[in-house]
Amino acid sequence: MVEATEGRLCSICGRRASVKVTYSGLYMCPLHFNTYFESRVVSTIKVLRMVRPGEKVAVAVSGGKDSLSLLHLLAGKTKELDIKIVGILIDEGIRGYREAKLEAARVHAEKRNVELIVDSFKGIFGFTLDEAVQALLLDGFRYKPCTVCGVLRRYALNQVALDLGVDKLATAHNLDDEVQAFLINAIQSNLSVAAREGPLSDKVHEKLVPRIKPFYFIPEKEVMVYALLNGIESPFVECPYIVYSLRHVLRKWLNQTTSNKNPGLKHRIMFLKTKLTKHFTRQMEFKTCKICGMPSSRDTCKACEFKNYVTSLLKRDKLF
């Protein structure tokens, strides 16, 4: 948790503080907040051995502040970590939203001198998310836009990362994202999935690029402050489909509950998740999707299932 502060001095250097990190009780000036933030992320990467010297890491970039902050931070730490980085952006095809975020990602990647690879749902699956949602709507919304979008984006990122031959795929999921995902899975009785999703994944299938989450222990508000202090800008446009998202509702509730004199709530939920993880240590067994050959927990992967379902709806309703 971060609080703005007035008239306080930096607990480290005595200059004017602009941020209070609530759970540590420290007031910080911009310079020391930046150093504190970056060293926390770098230690997470080093302590958990998220990367090895000489590795190539793809950063999943959405164009939002979290992923641009991760790109910014890693671009400044390539020498210290001895890694090379590249950005990957998946254009879902969401009119009025994706264009602006894509532009922000391009501008930022160029500023940090990082190559940005852009691919799209249209190119990989044959339809945009807008087209898919139109079809889903006509079929009674058996699946919500975010469910389809999440599965397809995860698949697309992995495929592009695989084609690039990178060693790791870094995502900007922060502590708030992890708490929300944990609660969603718990609500849906997917406790084993909820407890298993950690800060890094192993190479459990030859076609699954291991994922790392360097912001795993960092609250969203700290990432926002870091973005602000480093001039990382992202246009304020929201995805039009966010209204259908359970995560959106949970995020609002969690933020309200946390700010109402319950500052440790998110950390306590993460603690519960860590405790539960011990009971779900058995590695999930991956099969190979019989349609696309990619990793899957079942005979046919969820992405192929959604792709076939949406394609059949689009053909049936002549929406292509």
Q: Which residues make up the interface to ligand SF4 (CB under 6 A)?
A: 92, 145-146, 149-150, 239, 241-242, 245
Closer to ligand SF4 by Cβ: residue 205 or 247: 247
Q: How far is the CB of 68 from ligand SF4 (least distance, A)?
A: 15
Q: How far is the CB of 132 from ligand SF4 (least distance, A)?
A: 10
Closer to ligand SF4 by Cβ: residue 83 or 152: 152
Cβ–Cβ under 8 Å, residues 90 and 254: no
Closer to ligand SF4 by Cβ: residue 34 or 255: 255
Q: What is the token pair recorded at 227?
A: 């973005």
Q: How far is the CB of 239 from ligand SF4 (least distance, A)?
A: 3
Residues forming a β-bridge with 28: 19
Give the integer Cα–Cα distance in Å for 215 and 73: 11
Return the sign of the alpha-carbon dihedral for residues 213, 240, 72, 27: negative
Q: How far is the CB of 164 from ligand SF4 (least distance, A)?
A: 22
Closer to ligand SF4 by Cβ: residue 44 or 180: 180
Residues 6+ apart with CB under 8 A from 35: none
CA 162 to chain centre: 18
Half-sphere exposure at residue 29, Cβ-oriented, CA atoms within 13 angstroms: 10
Closer to ligand SF4 by Cβ: residue 28 or 303: 303
Q: How far is the CB of 157 from ligand SF4 (least distance, A)?
A: 13
Q: What is the token pair recorded at 43?
A: 């230690």
Q: What is the token pair recorded at 71?
A: 């790109």
Residues 6+ apart with CB under 8 A from 76: 38, 112
Cβ–Cβ under 8 Å, residues 51 and 92: no
Q: How far is the CB of 49 from ligand SF4 (least distance, A)?
A: 30
Cβ–Cβ under 8 Å, residues 131 and 95: no
Closer to ligand SF4 by Cβ: residue 97 or 216: 97
